[in-house]
Structure 1
Amino acid sequence: MHRSHLTGVFVGSQAIADGFITPRQLRERSYRRLVQGVYADPALEFDHRLRCTGVALVLPPGTAIGGHSAAAWHGAPFAAPHDPVTVVRPPDVEWKGPRGVRVHRTTLAAGDVEQRDGVPVTSSLRTAWDLASIEPRGTAVAALDAMVRAGSLTREALTSMAGLGSGRWGVTRVREAVPLVDPRAESAPGSRVRVALVSDGLAPVPQYEVRSAGSFVARVDLAFPEARLAVEYDGAHHFVENQIRADDARLRRLEAAGWRVIRLSATDLRDLDAVVARVRAALAGMSR
């Protein structure tokens, strides 16, 4: 007997075989397809973790959700809903995965995988390694910043991991990323901008409190205190009317305290070299 509506996440062919739904109902109802053959109740919030949950239903034994996808369980939910789901598999498991899944072949040691919400996910430390070795540096550091801030990792554990990884695949990239981790960062875009600036030899201070005559003025994303230069990232919520007024008032307070502010948006993040050049030009202007 068929149910009127399936809830949760399910494999379509299995639900049909078990008599929970007919092929016609699967086609005609508004179930959300997560990846090929896997569906979800449309009432569920559609985010990257939901897609990972769907992929987990078709994973072969010995594999796990990893990297940028696993980071969502460790305090860094930055992967977008439609970003590829990262899966790690040992060399003896042959599996390419459906479209929308990125499979990384690697060795998985005992303790590298744990169950989270019924999903096999790499541990926080293993996730950190894969992030640093697979992802672009800015993306990796942003996730590691958040994981340390969330308490899933410590900087000491990351440093130890990098030091013990000699001869391991990706160790050079890991050792380049780990020193850049700073849990003071409070947003992924802010981390990416900081990494670009630091990689170019600059030294911005994250989440700096600007004070004037002993009074608090504002806390800025990135600061060059000696130059009184702030770099701020304006996310989508900054373009809501009430927030625009609050941001304008905050900017006036910073300017009255003698600070200049470079404001960045999502468009600016597409060309971080240009952002670095803009910051360098502002700093050079102060030195003349």
Structure 2
Amino acid sequence: MTGRAAAKLRIVSLQRLTGVFLGSHAVAEGAVTRAQLQSGLYRRLFQNVYADPGLPLDHQLLARGAMLVMPDDAVLGGRSAAAWYDAPFATPADPVLVLVPPTSAWRGPRGIRVHRTEVASGEVRLIENAREAVRVTTPLRTAWEIGTLERVGNAVALLDAMVGAQHLTYESLERLAREGRGRWGSRRFSKVVPLVDGRSQSRPESLVRVACVRAGLPAPVPQFVVQSAGRWLGQVDLAWPEHRLIVEYEGPHHFEEHKIVQDDGRYARLIAAGWRVIRLSTADLWDLDGVVARIRQALALPLLAG
């Protein structure tokens, strides 16, 4: 058994099958049988990689599983690394992004996306806890893969969150865009950076804002504080103050009974003060063109008295 395999086996022993582990090593140690693995007693993440079913099934769990099968010279990057930088927007349905050297022959199991690229040693960060150590790219290198590999809206949402959490700054992103000119993906990255706004507090806010700007509409103000006659009326997701137009995204928690009452009262006060309110739900995000059309129409209407 190689030193790397032995180290992984020791991790299994310490976790006692309560974390993420390699099935073959757990069977070899006698901690579990093949029949138990095949029975569904543990959650299968990838081929030969399993997890305690009591752990939340999120993208970070899958990334932790990927660590057990990645080569020693590989590193988690892009949206998968962003989960450790307060941008956990990748879902369990999204492939884990693993960066490997250009010469690497490793392809990875199904569920892992391999991106071949050079990564300097200074662009790797080891995040350790009592159970494991996870290799991820640094915030700036993470930003590069996000900006070059993700769709524009999703890239902006991830970078918005990282800037908002102070893992990145606008200045560092602009500098990275300048220094990266001529590299593969640099044009794409340069289109993403000007759209980043760390004031956004959710992925839906970022997606709607980016869709509006790319459609030629004026950029809204994220997390705008609405006041009327010196009275605070609330902080809203997106606003066009000069048009007194507000867009609010309502996630599932907004439909809880007490929250509905609170929201209705808040919206009534905003409307009474002369503001228009467009309320969006998760279903609206599947038709951003339709959302933009609604906003465009509202921006063209005359202001309400307030």
User: Which of 176, 179, 188 pairs up with 1:173?
Assistant: 188
User: Does structure 1 conserve the Cα–Cα contact (< 8 Å) formed by 2:222 and 2:236?
Assistant: yes
Partner of 1:190: 205
Alignment gaps of 5+ in structure 2 = 1-12
User: Which of 128, 136, 149 pairs up with 2:164?
Assistant: 149
Q: Indicate whether 1:138 and 2:149 are aligned.
A: no
SS in 1 for 2:301: helix
Q: 1:29 to 1:277 in 2, by over 3 A?
A: closer
- More divergent stretch after superposition (169-178 vs 73-82): 73-82
Partner of 2:7: none
User: Which of 10, 23, 27 pairs up with 2:34?
Assistant: 23
Q: Which amino acid aligns with 2:64?
A: T
TM-aligned CA deviation for residue 169 of structure 1: 0.8
State the Cα deviation string for residues 181-207 of structure 1 (Å, max 9, x = none): 111111111011101111122221111
Tell me, in whole angstroms, the C-alpha distance in 2 between the residues paired with 1:270 and 1:104.
28
Q: Which amino acid aligns with 2:294?
A: R
User: Does structure 1 conserve the Cα–Cα contact (< 8 Å) formed by 2:244 and 2:303?
Assistant: no
Q: Indicate whether 1:40 and 2:55 are aligned.
A: no
Partner of 2:4: none
SS in 2 for 1:206: strand
Partner of 2:9: none
Residues 215-230 of structure 1 correspond to what in structure 2 (within 5 A)? 215-230=231-246
SS in 2 for 1:126: helix
Partner of 1:129: 144
TM-aligned CA deviation for residue 61 of structure 1: 1.8
TM-aligned CA deviation for residue 234 of structure 1: 0.7
SS in 2 for 1:94: coil
Partner of 2:122: 111
Partner of 1:277: 293
Tell me, in whole angstroms, the C-alpha distance in 2 between the residues paired with 1:231 and 1:189.
11
Tell me, in whole angstroms, the C-alpha distance in 1 between the residues paired with 2:54 and 2:288.
38
Tell me, in whole angstroms, the C-alpha distance in 2 between the residues paired with 1:266 and 1:97.
33
Partner of 2:252: 236
SS in 1 for 2:302: helix
SS in 2 for 1:231: strand
Q: Which amino acid aligns with 2:169?
A: T
Q: Which amino acid aligns with 2:192?
A: A
TM-aligned CA deviation for residue 87 of structure 1: 1.1
State the Cα deviation string for residues 63-84 of structure 1 (Å, max 9, x = none): 1111111101111011112321
Give aligned-pair identity as a percent: 56
Tell me, in whole angstroms, the C-alpha distance in 1 between the residues paired with 2:140 and 2:245.
36
Q: Which amino acid aligns with 2:100?
A: R
**What stretches of structure 1 move > 6 A for 4+ residues in a row?**
none
SS in 1 for 2:24: helix
Tell me, in whole angstroms, the C-alpha distance in 2 between the residues paired with 1:72 and 1:197.
26
SS in 2 for 1:203: coil
Tell me, in whole angstroms, the C-alpha distance in 2 between the residues paired with 1:214 and 1:223.
18
State the Cα deviation string for residues 262-288 of structure 1 (Å, max 9, x = none): 111111111211111110111112279
Partner of 1:214: 230
Q: Which amino acid aligns with 2:54?
A: A
If the length of structure 2 is used for normalisation, what is the TM-score?
0.90
Tell me, in whole angstroms, the C-alpha distance in 1 between the residues paired with 2:74 and 2:80.
13
Alignment gaps of 5+ in structure 1 = none
Tell me, in whole angstroms, the C-alpha distance in 1 between the residues paired with 2:303 and 2:289.
21
Tell me, in whole angstroms, the C-alpha distance in 2 between the residues paired with 1:36 and 1:195.
38
Q: Which amino acid aligns with 1:108?
A: V
Residues 87-98 of structure 1 correspond to what in structure 2 (within 5 A)? 87-98=98-109
Q: Which amino acid aligns with 1:267?
A: A
Q: Which amino acid aligns with 1:134?
A: L
Alignment size in residue pairs = 286
Tell me, in whole angstroms, the C-alpha distance in 1 between the residues paired with 2:17 and 2:74.
27
TM-aligned CA deviation for residue 239 of structure 1: 1.1
If the length of structure 1 is used for normalisation, what is the TM-score?
0.95
Tell me, in whole angstroms, the C-alpha distance in 2 between the residues paired with 1:24 and 1:30.
9
SS in 1 for 2:26: helix
